[in-house]
Structure 1
Amino acid sequence: MKILNTFSFKSKWHTLSVGLCALLVITFASCKHTKRSDMAQTIYEVNKNKAFNKVTEEGFQPVFQKILAEKKAKLKNPKVITGFYESNGYDPVLVLDHMKGEDLKTLAAYLKKSGEHGLDPKIFQADDINNLVDKFYSKDAIKTPEEAYETMARLEVALANSLINYTNALQYGLISPRKIYARYFTQTLRPDSTSMKKVFGIADMKSFLDSIQPKSAQYVALQKALASNVQVPGKTAEETDRILKVNLERLRWKNKPADDKYVVVNIPDYRLDVMQNGKSVMNMKVCVGEGRNIDRTDNLVEYDESDKVDRPFSRETPQLNSAIYTVQVNPVWNIPKSIATKEIMVAAAQDPYYLSNHNMAVYQNGKEIEDSETIDWSSAGPNDYEFKQRPGDNNALGKIKFLFKNSSSVYLHDTPAKLAFNKQMRAVSHGCVRVERPLDLAHALFGDGNKFDTIKSDMEAGSSEPKDIALPKKVPVYLTYTTCWADKSGTLQFRPDIYGLDIVLFAHLNKYLTA
């Protein structure tokens, strides 16, 4: 029988315990902030105000705690801010680490210029911070140590709140699109506590603020247009201002494709592009879902505060990102219930030969009904039947559909209704995206080879049997919504807000001014 060596076990446990204790000491020591024993002298050297001669860290802390508690309800990210100061002994790191040089004045100046990004400086309390900074640096504006404590505390809280909010707005956007749009399924990153706390460790304020300025060519082009007071033909100056601001906000959202190759559809432009290494290698017209804003002018007079709520029309194409993984040649159209009840069953009730003439099959409890002409549609309920359209020349999906996972059951597909591509306004579908040249799109995705040859021959032959052909490698697809951008020549392009999504976003941006 093996006997445990008790002495050896105790020795190892002792060694482990000592090691853990040492690690804890190091950890706690690293979390504790450096004492500001020279706080008074350090501040006085900067602003030459005698009221700061007697300030101490111990005297500042209770005042800061009181001001922080008072302001907590109005902070955009109260948990992040209060949590940081609680764990750092209420040390005013932003004021004390940036009061030398021009850092605090630089921040105040950048906040006042946030209008260059289409953002109102009031959102970041630019005037309040500018006034507090001026007061802090003044030789005689602060008369007593008590006033010094309070001014420094209010300035520290204001700096933390506005710096985080400004940084988040430029790096991630002011608004989370997933919170304001009913049909938005694009992965969009938002700031977290880790990214927000980085502002407390900034070394040089100007370098940091310059680093977070969005630098894409599109963003800079829209900034210049905003600064130049460009006006959209047929739009008022106020309406143009709205268009530029909402599209600047969209460009700040962290949801842009980073893939070498992807497909992107811009809904208001009715256009599809195949992108390769940042350039469009193919583009074509598309038809998208019908929108709420087709029959009325998208001007500001038509809208009020209620338009902060997104109320999409049932046929609008959603914004989403996914990946095309397969195509179906000579597809079957599984007709959605909404179309079946509102259109197919109504047409079948009026014309007993409608279904057979359109190559549609009817199913009840999973079984196909052989003679659909005998169905009494007047007594049929909305859930009694299911419908499918077989492959053929009049199939609504045409000769091919491109599949990608999404919760809205939409896809890219061919169509027999080619005349719609000649129209300027092409928001005419039930929600899916009809592509003008589906065979060219298939070639762009598959390239040359046996799979593409099969697709081409089967489409041309018009087989009555659907065939699934998987892509060798999935290709990302993005359905987006952009109403203003700069083209290759730098000319600004504008498109109608067919779904009213500019209006919804603009209302939410303005809400920040009254929050």
Structure 2
Amino acid sequence: MISALSSRLPTVAFAIIVSFCSLLFILGPAAAESVAFKQAVAEAAAQDQDISAFYKETGYGAIWTGKSGRERNRRAALMNALNAADSHGLPSERYNLTALEQQMKNARTPRDRGLVEVAMSRAFLQYARDVQTGALVPSRVDKNIVRQVPYRDRKSYLTNFAKSSPKGFFKALPPQTGEYNALRKQKLVLEGLIAKGGWGPTVKAKKLEPGDSGASVVALRDRLVRMGYLKRTATGTYDSTMTDAVMRFQADHGLAQDGVVGQGTLAEINTSVEKRLQSVIVAMERERWVNKDRGKRHIEVNLTDFTAKIIDNGKVTFTTRSVIGARDAKRQSPEFSDVMEFMVINPSWFVPRSIAIGEYLPELQQNPNAVNHLIITDRSGRQIDRTNVDFTKYTARTFPYAMRQPPSRSNALGLVKFMFPNKYNIYLHDTPAKNLFGRETRAYSHGCIRLADPFEFAYALLAKQSNDPEGLFKKTLASGTETQLNLKKPVPVHIIYRTALANSKGQIQYRRDVYGRDGRIWNALSQAGVALRGVQG
């Protein structure tokens, strides 16, 4: 047996086990049982560096499998947590609960108990990380989710758990936010609805509006009743009460509130309970990815909601509409968190190279006087004379020039930009293209976030450091000079993506999956073992 083990275990672990074996020859039965237990723990833990390090530090003693009340409480807390993993939208099969329970039941010898001890620690570590910081690695699901997940040291879970109240420790692992709690409650509600047949038949129509009647209006009425937007009624006419219900539905789904069921509203009304449940489960996973202190004051940009908000002490104190990156893969806005440090008033626009070579170089090759609102500079920053350059001899790889647009009202960045320096070259800014803010879906930029009310956004930020923030901003703006205004206290910025989100009352609203990212996340969760409960076979 010793020779067989030597080929499988790390050198240090093998040496420890050999020393345990030698002790068996000189110790009494009780001590021998202890040594056998510790030998099994060392052997089983050897394949996991963090588990092995923890048990080495604690002398290979038991935290789960002893006979004391403390260890019984730990076992019970772990089993309860694993049993409830599905309520968090986690892949419960990942924790091998059934096999673990059987292994615990069959444990007879000290060696059996040692193997169970490590099996429980392994399941504990997997669950703890999943419920605290997510079951998926976001960047593996979508390359534009570049968020840095706040992973905790794995060994610290075991160390801290051994010192804590078991129930309290497990309770503190998931995000402690109103958003997460609201999503978890909604998950139960939707599962109950699925078990009862959902929201009933879909509405078959091209368009419905006030004054209409007929079978499609009846189907709309019945679906709104089941969704909770309309009290039970026998009406077959699209009356004012139904119009009000449709407008409330539109408000909860980020739609234009016109009271008319056009194609966009109809698609949302006909979305199944199962699809909404998927959005909720994905939102819970996303909430775990940002399970950290987001700042007493922070900025939240929800890409699917096309809004940017300033949040102070958990309350939204400023909101503005936004335009986000277009849907094609190269222009989508990424998801990440950073810290806003300053704003630039009367900014120059330094054209990203991808735009310079992808959009403007072909135009210059056709006409050297094209895009004449831009200044073209060489590597030293000196402006060049376009008429002396043959742009046709350059390719996207060899193009040696940079481009910038000087400050002006027609500048692509408008009159102010808000900077949180990052390697993705993403920031918030003004825009001269104000017409886009009136649209329902606003995905048109090259990736940066355009704001509908940038001046007011600036006033709100400067209010923390100036008695006259509007005056300060306007005075700087009037100079016409490019000016950097530092924020005395930098503000965290979180660019998120939620198709299921809680409003101020904790009620869940829904948004479209504009980039298809939530669909990809759901597929990954499903492959990992997450299933929809309540689905009728």
- What's the TM-score bracket when you normalise by the shorter of the two chains? 0.7 to 0.9
TM-score (norm 1): 0.74
Paired position in structure 1 for 2:153: 192
The answer on whether the counterparts of 1:355 and 1:372 sit within 8 Å (CA) in structure 2 is: no
Paired position in structure 1 for 2:78: 107
1:94 to 64, 69, 72: 64
Deviations 1:218-275 (A, max 9, x none): 1121111212226784434543333222211222234544422222211121110011
Q: Residue 259 of structure 1 aligns to a residue in which SS?
A: coil
Paired position in structure 2 for 1:51: none
- Cα gap change, 1:55 to 1:111, in 2 (>3 Å): farther
TM-score (norm 2): 0.71
- Cα gap change, 1:84 to 1:259, in 2 (>3 Å): closer
User: What CA distance in whole angstroms lies between the structure 1 residues aligned with 2:346 and 2:504?
Assistant: 37
Paired position in structure 2 for 1:274: 310
The answer on whether the counterparts of 2:341 and 2:419 sit within 8 Å (CA) in structure 1 is: yes
Matched, 1:170 2:131: yes
User: What CA distance in whole angstroms lies between the structure 2 residues aligned with 1:473 and 1:220?
Assistant: 30
User: What CA distance in whole angstroms lies between the structure 2 residues aligned with 1:418 and 1:400?
Assistant: 14
- Kindly state the Cα deviation for residue 404 of structure 1 after the two structures are TM-superposed: 1.8
2:473 to 455, 458, 482: 455
The answer on whether the counterparts of 1:328 and 1:469 sit within 8 Å (CA) in structure 2 is: yes
Paired position in structure 2 for 1:249: 285
- Cα gap change, 1:423 to 1:130, in 2 (>3 Å): same
- Cα gap change, 1:393 to 1:64, in 2 (>3 Å): same
Paired position in structure 1 for 2:98: 127
User: What CA distance in whole angstroms lies between the structure 1 residues aligned with 2:126 and 2:370?
Assistant: 59
Matched, 1:335 2:351: yes
Deviations 1:413-465 (A, max 9, x none): 10011111111111110011100011101100112556642432454x583x4
Q: Residue 434 of structure 1 aligns to a residue in which SS?
A: strand
Paired position in structure 2 for 1:489: 505
User: What CA distance in whole angstroms lies between the structure 2 residues aligned with 1:453 and 1:250?
Assistant: 40
Letter in 2 for 1:206: K
- Cα gap change, 1:95 to 1:373, in 2 (>3 Å): same
- Kindly state the Cα deviation for residue 205 of structure 1 after the two structures are TM-superposed: 3.2
User: What CA distance in whole angstroms lies between the structure 2 residues aligned with 1:324 and 1:55?
Assistant: 65
- Kindly state the Cα deviation for residue 364 of structure 1 after the two structures are TM-superposed: 2.5
Deviations 1:189-211 (A, max 9, x none): 21214522226615653343334
- Cα gap change, 1:321 to 1:148, in 2 (>3 Å): same
- Cα gap change, 1:99 to 1:394, in 2 (>3 Å): closer
- Cα gap change, 1:84 to 1:368, in 2 (>3 Å): closer
User: What CA distance in whole angstroms lies between the structure 2 residues aligned with 1:332 and 1:504?
Assistant: 37
The answer on whether the counterparts of 1:94 and 1:200 sit within 8 Å (CA) in structure 2 is: no
User: What CA distance in whole angstroms lies between the structure 1 residues aligned with 2:320 and 2:489?
Assistant: 22
User: What CA distance in whole angstroms lies between the structure 1 residues aligned with 2:146 and 2:119?
Assistant: 35
Paired position in structure 1 for 2:377: 363
User: What CA distance in whole angstroms lies between the structure 1 residues aligned with 2:95 and 2:350?
Assistant: 51
The answer on whether the counterparts of 2:294 and 2:492 sit within 8 Å (CA) in structure 1 is: no
Matched, 1:85 2:55: yes
Q: Structure 2 matches for 1:139-154, cutoff 5 A? A: 147-154=108-115
The answer on whether the counterparts of 2:44 and 2:115 sit within 8 Å (CA) in structure 1 is: no
- Cα gap change, 1:446 to 1:65, in 2 (>3 Å): same
Letter in 1 for 2:121: A
Paired position in structure 1 for 2:402: 386
Unmatched 5+ residue regions in structure 1?
Answer: 1-53, 137-146, 293-312
The answer to which of 413-422 and 149-158 deviates more is: 149-158
- Cα gap change, 1:449 to 1:59, in 2 (>3 Å): closer
Q: Structure 2 matches for 1:472-511, cutoff 5 A? A: 472-511=488-527
Paired position in structure 2 for 1:291: 327
Q: Structure 2 matches for 1:35-46, cutoff 5 A? A: none
User: What CA distance in whole angstroms lies between the structure 2 residues aligned with 1:203 and 1:379?
Assistant: 69
Letter in 2 for 1:92: A
Paired position in structure 1 for 2:207: none
The answer to which of 341-350 and 184-193 deviates more is: 184-193
Deviations 1:44-73 (A, max 9, x none): xxxxxxxxxx97342354466357636755
Q: Residue 488 of structure 1 aligns to a residue in which SS?
A: coil
- Cα gap change, 1:200 to 1:436, in 2 (>3 Å): closer
- Cα gap change, 1:428 to 1:254, in 2 (>3 Å): closer
Letter in 1 for 2:281: K
Paired position in structure 1 for 2:43: 69
User: What CA distance in whole angstroms lies between the structure 1 residues aligned with 2:44 and 2:472?
Assistant: 70
- Kindly state the Cα deviation for residue 510 of structure 1 after the two structures are TM-superposed: 4.2
User: What CA distance in whole angstroms lies between the structure 2 residues aligned with 1:502 and 1:119?
Assistant: 16
The answer on whether the counterparts of 1:290 and 1:431 sit within 8 Å (CA) in structure 2 is: yes
- Cα gap change, 1:199 to 1:150, in 2 (>3 Å): farther
User: What CA distance in whole angstroms lies between the structure 1 residues aligned with 2:295 and 2:114?
Assistant: 46
The answer on whether the counterparts of 2:325 and 2:449 sit within 8 Å (CA) in structure 1 is: yes
Name the % identity: 25
User: What CA distance in whole angstroms lies between the structure 1 residues aligned with 2:80 and 2:29?
Assistant: 28
The answer on whether the counterparts of 1:80 and 1:196 sit within 8 Å (CA) in structure 2 is: no
Which runs of structure 1 show a deviation greater than 6 angstroms over 4 or more consecutive aligned residues? none
The answer to which of 329-338 and 229-238 deviates more is: 229-238
- Kindly state the Cα deviation for residue 402 of structure 1 after the two structures are TM-superposed: 1.3
Matched, 1:376 2:376: no
Unmatched 5+ residue regions in structure 2?
Answer: 1-27, 199-267, 531-537
Paired position in structure 2 for 1:226: 187
Q: Aligned residue pairs: how many?
A: 423
Letter in 2 for 1:69: E
The answer to which of 203-212 and 112-121 deviates more is: 203-212
The answer on whether the counterparts of 1:105 and 1:133 sit within 8 Å (CA) in structure 2 is: no
Paired position in structure 1 for 2:204: none
Matched, 1:260 2:296: yes
1:467 to 457, 480, 483: 483
User: What CA distance in whole angstroms lies between the structure 2 residues aligned with 1:129 and 1:443?
Assistant: 58
The answer on whether the counterparts of 2:342 and 2:485 sit within 8 Å (CA) in structure 1 is: yes
Paired position in structure 2 for 1:8: none
The answer on whether the counterparts of 2:326 and 2:447 sit within 8 Å (CA) in structure 1 is: yes
Letter in 1 for 2:355: I
The answer on whether the counterparts of 1:270 and 1:426 sit within 8 Å (CA) in structure 2 is: yes
- Cα gap change, 1:118 to 1:62, in 2 (>3 Å): same
Measured on the aligned residues, the alpha-carbon RMSD in Å equals 3.0
Q: Residue 349 of structure 1 aligns to a residue in which SS?
A: helix
Q: Which has the larger radius of gyration?
A: 1
Matched, 1:157 2:118: yes
- Cα gap change, 1:327 to 1:378, in 2 (>3 Å): same
Paired position in structure 2 for 1:118: 89
User: What CA distance in whole angstroms lies between the structure 2 residues aligned with 1:55 and 1:233?
Assistant: 71
The answer on whether the counterparts of 2:279 and 2:518 sit within 8 Å (CA) in structure 1 is: yes
The answer on whether the counterparts of 2:42 and 2:55 sit within 8 Å (CA) in structure 1 is: no
Q: Residue 56 of structure 1 aligns to a residue in which SS?
A: helix
- Cα gap change, 1:118 to 1:367, in 2 (>3 Å): closer
